[in-house]
Amino acid sequence: MTTKSQQLLDWVDARFPLTSTWKAHLSEYYAPKNFNFWYFFGSLALLVLVIQIVTGIFLVMHYKPDASLNASGVPVAFASVEYIMRDVPGGWLIRYMHSTGASAFFIVVYLHMFRGLIYGSYRKPRELIWVFGALIFL
């Protein structure tokens, strides 16, 4: 890098410390040597759970769980699902995210538990954490 571009980068970094934040939190952040692919599934399970909660709240705002028939002879519950799919902006996407997320959540949680079994996370001194996780799973 030339000195002019380095000076410009230093000037910007003094006012907006993106480079130092990148180094402190991402590129030079200490992580254990045994960190691998399997350790992503815990945070992935949390992400999918949050997506399920958010999409569920949006779906509950438009769904009517009513078994009675409307004026055209269609059950109100079915009509509300049709309303979500056709008239709510992005409703089709929210509904499909919610239904796919339900399956994804089980897959990710099972892989997270499998990682715990592989690496012996149920052994001393972490057996209490394993018991709490098993209770949450139940």
Predicted structure pTM score? 0.74
- Same-domain pairing of 24 and 47: no
- Same-domain pairing of 61 and 4: no
Could you list the residue range(s) of the whole structural domain that residue 15 is in?
1-30
23 domain residue, yes or no: yes
pLDDT for the residue 31: 76
- Same-domain pairing of 26 and 46: no
- Same-domain pairing of 48 and 101: yes
Burial of 124 (0-12, 13-18, 19+ CB in 10 A): exposed
- Same-domain pairing of 102 and 70: yes
pLDDT for the residue 75: 95
Q: Where are the alpha helices (DSSP H) in 1-126?
A: 3-15, 18-22, 40-62, 76-86, 91-118
Question: In the structure encoding, which two tokens stand for residue 122, read together?
Answer: 């149920």
35 domain residue, yes or no: no
CA proximity to 130, closest of 22, 44, 42, 63: 42
What are the pLDDT tens digits along the chain (138 aa)?
678 888 888 888 888 888 888 888 888 878 777 788 888 999 999 999 999 999 999 999 999 999 999 999 999 999 999 999 999 999 999 999 999 999 999 999 999 999 999 988 889 888 898 999 999 888
| Domain of residue 112, CATH code | 1.20.810.10
Residue 47 CA, chain-centre distance (Å), reads 2
- Same-domain pairing of 52 and 117: yes
Peptide bond into 65 cis (omega under 30): no
Alpha-carbon distance of 45 to 107, in angstroms, equals 9
- Same-domain pairing of 23 and 76: no
